[in-house]
């Protein structure tokens, strides 16, 4: 892999991300041992690939395939008025969410505003039995009373720092912290 620039700090290697995803899958399985009525929905864009990886991990222990969907939240954001033309990604949920346990999946949880927008977008599509939140990274600094049910890793980051989750191939991930410039 390429060297990490000086303003970036490596937080998780691909091996550590895999271990986090395995722990998250174990925690989801503990909540729903046989997987009946569970679907994963990745929040565009960061949560989609992670939802697919979690589904693969769960399918290795559950006797059925795990439905996976993709949810775009951009038109539900509370800062929409600040954007000239938001980038809209496809929402693709090829199943009825009514009555299901929906696990929303995202890469990083910070303020909680993306999750709030996801809940609004999800409510336009039906009424799940319950909604849970799975995030690879919880970096704190909440602005809303939202907490994840399943967390890969909690990290300490300043309010202006950024956490980046990236993948070159859709299956191998790395996580870096971009420190805010001082001064």
pTM: 0.91
pLDDT (tens digit, 9 = 90+) per residue, 56-77? 999 999 988 999 999 999 887 6
pLDDT (tens digit, 9 = 90+) per residue, 71-112? 999 887 666 556 666 677 889 999 999 999 999 999 999 999
Q: Assess if residue 24 is contained within a domain.
A: yes
Q: Assess if residue 118 is contained within a domain.
A: yes
**Residue 2 to residue 21: CA distance in whole angstroms:** 23
Instruction: Name which of 134, 88, 86, 138 is nearest 109 in CA terms.
Output: 138
Residue 7 — pLDDT band, cuts 50, 70, 90?
A: confident
pLDDT (tens digit, 9 = 90+) per residue, 105-160? 999 999 999 999 999 999 999 999 999 999 999 999 999 999 999 999 999 898 89
> What residues pair up with 70 in beta bridges, in sequence order?
42, 92
Q: How many domains, the chain?
A: 1
Edge-first strand listing for the sheet containing 8-12: 8-12, 173-178, 162-167
Angle made by CA atoms 44, 65, 20, in degrees to the nearest 5? 55
Q: Assess if residue 7 is contained within a domain.
A: no
Q: Assess if residue 44 is contained within a domain.
A: yes
Q: Assess if residue 73 is contained within a domain.
A: yes
Expressed as residue numbers, the domain containing 37 is 14-79+94-155
CATH label of the domain that carries residue 22: 3.40.50.2020
């Amino acid at each position: 892999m390429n060297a990490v620039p000086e303003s970036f700090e490596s937080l998780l290697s691909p091996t550590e991300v895999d271990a986090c995803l395995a722990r998250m899958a174990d925690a989801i399985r503990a909540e729903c041992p046989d997987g009946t009525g569970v679907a994963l929905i990745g929040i565009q864009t960061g949560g989609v690939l992670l939802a697919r990886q979690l589904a693969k991990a769960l399918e290795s222990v559950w006797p059925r395939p795990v439905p996976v969907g993709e949810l775009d939240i951009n038109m539900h954001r509370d800062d929409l008025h600040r954007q000239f033309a938001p980038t809209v990604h496809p929402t693709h949920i090829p199943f009825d969410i009514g009555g299901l346990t929906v696990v929303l999946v995202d890469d990083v949880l910070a303020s909680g505003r993306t999750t709030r927008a996801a809940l609004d977008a999800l409510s336009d599509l039906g009424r799940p039995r319950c909604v849970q939140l799975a995030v690879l990274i919880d970096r704190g600094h909440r602005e809303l009373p939202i907490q994840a049910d399943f967390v890969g890793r909690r990290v300490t980051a300043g309010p202006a720092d950024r956490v980046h989750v990236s993948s070159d191939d859709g299956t191998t991930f790395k996580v870096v912290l971009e420190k805010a410039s001082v001064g």
